[in-house]
Amino acid sequence: MMSFICWGVFQENRLKPRCRQPRAKQNYFVRQLVKFLGLLLAFCWLSQSVMAETLLLKSSKGVPFQLNKVADGLGVPWGMAFIGPEQILLTERNGKIGILDTVSGVITRITGGPKVMHSGQGGLLDVAVPPGYSQRGWIYFSYSKAQQGKGVTTLARAKLKAKRLVTLQDMLITRSASTTGRHFGSRITFDGTGHLFFSVGDRGVRPNGQDLSTHAGSILRLTLDGSVPENNPFVQQKNALPEIWSYGHRNPQGMFYDKKHQRLWSIEHGPRGGDEINLILRGRNYGWPVISYGKEYWGPVQVGEGTEKEGMEKPIKFYVPSIAPGSLIVYSGKAFPAWKGNLFAGALKLTHLNRVEIDNDGKAVAEERLLEGLGERIRALVESPQGWLYFSTDSGKIFRLRPLVNNP
């Protein structure tokens, strides 16, 4: 066995070797050193990546959770829907469509979407898939469509084939034309019995909220093929559009059908104050702009006649000041049992995730504001098959909120 002892002496601040190892032995040591440094760099890079992904560790109702950034660099991701266990179909207001792999963070671009009028608050809006999507394959979209230079909220559907949408159909081009670039709505949800609900804002024209001859300022109900159900409330009423299910809405940008309790929930933007959570009932008038908890933008003056009036529904909950809600879901409780049945809404103006506890009678009994320190305008919100919450932000990011440890 050959062994070597090397020594050196300091001379003019340098270490001079007094012996030399054979070249083969030197090369071996060099190779091992390179391998070690490579592994060390890989470990450091991986550690950095994992740490960068996990942005926040918090708790709610005694349940710890973590927040991860899944994707970045998007436009304004307006709608999200799971089309597989780890695939989110997402829309961007600029008209782009993609499929996000929630494991890798890779987004695959999809072509063949509708031609949108991307102006102001308009563009490609919501995306939703009904129960039984895997068998039927229809995907539903809402978007603003140009009609004689004016934006019109439109409901469409298509099927996904490879990386392209096919069989694109406009199901309802609403009567909601306006020269304003605001208050298009629009969310889509399904009741599980062959119907969909579709919200349309008042298009920035206040009288639309009380006008049944326009779709603006209302929530609509259709069958999955776009026809009007015979039991819609205004089918037989003269000068009323048959698609309308409820009216008196300002700008509902969150809507969710709770199949367990057979309840349709909506959240809408108020003016300066007065955002509302409403339990939507057949044929009811939700008051805008006659009743409101908000004030005029130009001064401290109450909008409308007050906060209540006979024949008009009061909200389950209202927000003063406004949080500017962009979405709404009813949480299943799969990953966070303590949140079962709670309403979650994304807040745009006050930049947080809003959680509201609902009792058995459908009354709001408590509120919590999560992720206020994130500083992001939270737009779309969706629950994964395993009960994790995914949400998008107007800065072009997708985040995931999940437990630190899965709850039984």
Phi-psi label, residue 340: left if phi above 0, alpha if psi -120 to 50, beta otherwise: beta
Q: Which helix (H) or strand (E) holds 59?
A: strand 54-60
Do residues 101 and 86 touch, judged by C-beta distance below 8 A? yes
Do residues 159 and 134 touch, judged by C-beta distance below 8 A? no
Do residues 383 and 329 touch, judged by C-beta distance below 8 A? yes
Q: How far is CA 374 from CA 70, 138, 212, 322, in A?
A: 15, 35, 41, 18
Place of tokens 């959570």: 277
In the structure encoding, which two tokens stand for residue 10, read together? Answer: 């300091």
Is the peptide bond preceding residue 130 cis, with omega within 30 degrees of 0? no
Q: Comparing C-alpha atoms, which of 210, 198, 201 is closest to residue 182?
A: 201
The gap from C-alpha 244 to its chain's centroid, in whole angstroms, comes to 25
DSSP alpha helix (H) spans, 152-307: none
**Any idea which residues carry the catalytic annotation?**
183
Q: Comparing C-alpha atoms, which of 105, 88, 122 is closest to residue 97?
A: 88
What are the phi and psi torsion angles at 50 (to 5°)?
Answer: -65, -45
Q: Comparing C-alpha atoms, which of 331, 364, 370, 365 is closest to residue 347?
A: 370
Do residues 90 and 79 touch, judged by C-beta distance below 8 A? yes
In the structure encoding, which two tokens stand for residue 170, read together? Answer: 């406009």
Q: Which helix (H) or strand (E) holds 32?
A: helix 23-53
CA 376 – CA 184 distance, rounded (Å): 22
Q: Comparing C-alpha atoms, which of 249, 172, 188, 191 is closest to residue 218?
A: 249
Strand segments (E) across 212-299: 218-223, 244-247, 252-258, 263-268, 275-280
CA 279 – CA 330 distance, rounded (Å): 12
